Structure 1
Amino acid sequence: MDKVYVQGMRFYGYHGAFHQENELGQRFYADIILEMDAEKPGRTDDLDDTVNYAKVYEAAKEVLEGEPVKLVETLTSRIAKLVLQRFAVIEAVTVKVTKPDPPIPGHYDSVAVEIRRERGFENQ
């Protein structure tokens, strides 16, 4: 399977297990790997035969700037499901959501969750 990378997307959301995270908000980063057959778009050079990266960004934005949730796992799962629902050409998706400077004891640059989901997950 061929892969398309959409990396370094940045958002501001109100997710987290602590009250102050829901009040103040924080940055979230997203990286998405789309697995698909890129033979046809490579041959036709037609955007209709592939995935519009701007629309992938919009799907991630909808989740990360949307309804607050407690867990980064929930965010990654929702993005994966939305991508598979919206883009029939995608066979599998890997989503990584990074939460920089988490408000937990100790010194951390970030925490991140990465998941991979295949076609069929969007119907669950």
Structure 2
Amino acid sequence: MGIIKLTNIRTFSYHGCLEEEAKIGSNYRVDLTVKTNLKPSAQTDELNDTVDYVDLNRIVVEEMAIRAKLLEHVAQRIIDRVLKELLPVLKIKIEVTKLNPPIGGDVEGVTIRMKKKR
């Protein structure tokens, strides 16, 4: 087994419960970790024998572009798509961070973390 991690995927998205958030948007950070069998690709040196991190990044970027009120909702969509489209993924963990959230304080970010296994 092995781990593939994508760290600090940055997007500008329009998530949030406030109408202003839908209009002005915010910066987000996504960290994604998947567990998969890396032994075949370690032996063959072939992309077809592993989970392509280009596909992981594409799914994150596409789902982050679809507005959601809650970070939990967009994170669940990402989890569902990864498990549906990338069959070798056995387990996924995601962190979605809204940077500089509008919560009336000096807060660098708010993060939700979710995980799921097949």
Q: TM-score, normalised by structure 1?
A: 0.91
1:22-64 CA-partner distances (Å, limit 9, x unpaired): 0111111111001011111111111001011111111001110
Amino acid in structure 2 at the alignment position of 1:5: K
Aligned to 2:87: 88
Aligned Cα root-mean-square deviation (Å): 0.9
Tell me how far apart the structure 2 counterparts of residues 30 and 92 of structure 1 sit (CA, whole Å): 17
Residue 109 of structure 1 pairs with residue 101 of structure 2: no
1:94-117 CA-partner distances (Å, limit 9, x unpaired): 011110000012210000011111
- Contact 2:36 2:51 (8 Å CA) reproduced: no
Q: TM-score, normalised by structure 2?
A: 0.96
Q: Where do 4+ consecutive residues of structure 1 move more than 6 Å?
A: none
Q: How many residues end up aligned between the 2 structures?
A: 118
| Structure 1 residues 1-124: aligned runs within 5 Å | 1-66=1-66, 68-119=67-118
Tell me how far apart the structure 2 counterparts of residues 53 and 2 of structure 1 sit (CA, whole Å): 13
Q: Once the two structures are aligned, what percentage of the paired residues are identical?
A: 27
Give the gaps of 5 or more residues in structure 2.
Answer: none
Tell me how far apart the structure 2 counterparts of residues 28 and 85 of structure 1 sit (CA, whole Å): 24
